[in-house]
Structure 1
Amino acid sequence: MKLPFLFLVLFCAIMCYGQQQPADSIYINKDVKFKYQSLFIPAGLITYGVIGIKNDPIKKWDQDLRTTLQPDGTKIDIDDYTLFVPIAAVYGLDLAGIKGRNNMLNKTVILGTSTLFLYSSVNLIKNNTNIRRPSGKSQSSFPSGHTAISFMAAEFLHQEYGHVSPWYSIAGYTIAASTGFLRIYNDKHWLSDVAAGAGIGILSTKIAYWLHPLIKSVIFKNKSKLNESQVQLNIAPLYTRNELLLATSLRF
């Protein structure tokens, strides 16, 4: 029983510690500065989750952790809401006058890009794995969409405000790790589902930041006078196959 607990503690510790590092440098002479070191954590989490699909020791750890945390009917149903907290924090801080790395428009384009990548990745994998949930209610367990959104949001907060204070990064990743834990506690996902979802979420946001200069030059190349008052943002939850995802749209 101790091994799954140890892994879960290490998982949360790595998330909170690793994301205290400086946010990716996005613009250097209008180009993207790619840091391959940024791939270590998300790639490691995704790899662990994928290996866990067929690996007997990892599957046993999943089972042991589920048995240990079995709530006997008691659930803490706040994980449908905590996943959006870091995103709300980004926009709330901006509205409060605490400026991040990007203005409201660019933030939203980045969020939309990361959401598109996350949605496509999560659904593609779910449709090709068909892993049964711990509760047995469906076969859309791998990876965890809730966890993916929560870590996408945590990385979003880290990228925008991690340079202002590391506590923003720590808070965002603590909320994300808590969401992942609750997905296991509430019998919705295995630990390997949560690990893969976390990796996809982090990677989705990083890719969005790396691609943003290119997207900005293509979409807004003839819109140099566009300002935030001309932009309409819509953010809404999207349910699909018993998973909650995030839908964003922009009108300009």
Structure 2
Amino acid sequence: MRTFLSRSIVGAALWLATFTPTLAQILPTTPAASDTTHKYENPAGIALPKTPVPWYKGKLVKATIVPALMITYGATCINGNGLYSSYQANRDIHKLFPTFRTRLDDILIIAPYLELGGVLLAGVESRDDNLNIGLVVLKSELIMLSSTFIVKSLTKIRRPDNSDMLSFPSGHTAQAFLAASIVHNEFRHKSQWYGVGAYAIATSVAALRMINSKHWQSDVVAGAGFGILSAHLGYLTHRNRWGRKPIIPTGMNIMPTWQQGAPGLGMTWKL
């Protein structure tokens, strides 16, 4: 009897194991996650169409919109023109500073460049290397000096102190704001305060030029625009590859030569 019961239990267990669905068969299975790692790859190498950037979002517009507005405002308030003309501004300034005169504006025009050099000597990492900074400064200075000289010669606005007819725009202000823009562009990734300090110096130059009766309000506002615009154009037209080593020939060999009784140097290289 015991043998019969044991065989019956074993047989029932085998039958249940054979015909009873498993838990995996009862519960719905979750599909495997699709592989999205390579979803945006283009294995065929087909050139995908680029979405054109609207003209008003281009680098040139962003770089020129603010200085263009400053130059335009300066041009509209020459002499007695505009809502707050240069004559009105000159009158109000000399009510506040009737006798104050200083030569500090002749010194402060280079102060932003002194700040640039001091920050670099302090070890603060600039956006570009020293060579590229020098090239941008040189190009920007050429743009600023040529443009302000041409406009001064064409407009022939008399200075407030009647010293000459080269008032518009202010060259001192253009120089100070150009240097301040270089400082701002090179160190804004580290701190905005470098640019704030440089622009504060440039604004002081503009104010002192008016207090010293060397320039009208229109001159300094337009001069600031010319300086900023020159710096931006210097960066936009610079073709060097930022942050990369220059392309130089490798495998260069220099050796002394002797040709027709004259010594010299021969150079060969393999790119």
TM-score by length of 2: 0.64
The 5 Å alignment of 1:81-96 reads 81-96=107-122
Aligned to 1:101, what secondary structure does the other structure show? coil
Instruction: For residue 67 of structure 1, report the CA deviation from its aligned partner.
Output: 1.4
- Structure 1 residues 131 and 87: CA distance shift in structure 2, 3 A: same
Partner residue of 1:99? 125
**Residue 55 of structure 1: how far off its partner (Å):** 6.3
Q: 1:51 — aligned with what?
A: 76
Aligned length: 186
Relative to structure 1, is the Cα distance of residues 187 and 121 closer, same or farther in structure 2, using a 3 angstrom cutoff?
A: same
Deviation at 1:39, TM superposition (A): 1.9
* Alpha-carbon distance in structure 2 between the residues aligned to 1:179 and 1:114: 19
In 2, distance between residues paired with 1:35 and 1:165?
24
Distance 2:194 2:70 in 1: 22
- The alpha carbon displacement at 1:225 in A equals 4.4
Cα root mean square deviation, aligned? 1.9
- Report deviation, 1:52: 2.5
Task: Using the TM superposition, give the Cα deviation of residue 54 of structure 1 relative to its aligned residue in structure 2, in angstroms.
Answer: 6.8
Q: SS at 1:40's partner residue?
A: helix
Q: 2:162 aligns with which of 136, 147, 152?
A: 136
In 2, the alpha carbon distance for the partners of 1:66 and 1:54 equals: 10
CA contact (8 A) 2:79 2:85 kept: no
CA displacement at 1:156 relative to structure 2: 0.4
Aligned to 1:66: 90
Residue from 111, 115, 125 that aligns with 2:137: 111
SS in structure 2 of the partner of residue 53 of structure 1? coil
Residue 265 of structure 2 corresponds to none
* Stretch moving more, 69-78 or 90-99: 69-78
Gaps of 5+ in 2: 1-57, 250-271
Which of 122, 131, 150 matches 2:148? Answer: 122
Give 1 or 2 for the bigger CA radius of gyration.
Answer: 2
How big is the shift at 1:139? 0.6
Pick the structure with more helix per residue: 1
- How many Å apart are 1:98 and its aligned residue? 0.9
Matches within 5 A, 1:1-252: 34-53=59-78, 56-57=81-82, 61-70=85-94, 71-213=97-239, 216=240, 224-225=247-248
Identity %: 36
Instruction: Encode CA deviations 1:172-231: one digit per residue, 9 max, x unaligned.
Output: 111111111111111100010001100000000000011111xx48xxxxx7449xxxxx
Runs of 4+ in 1 over 6 A off after TM superposition: none
Tell me the secondary structure at the aligned position of residue 237 of structure 2: helix
Amino acid at match of 1:155: S
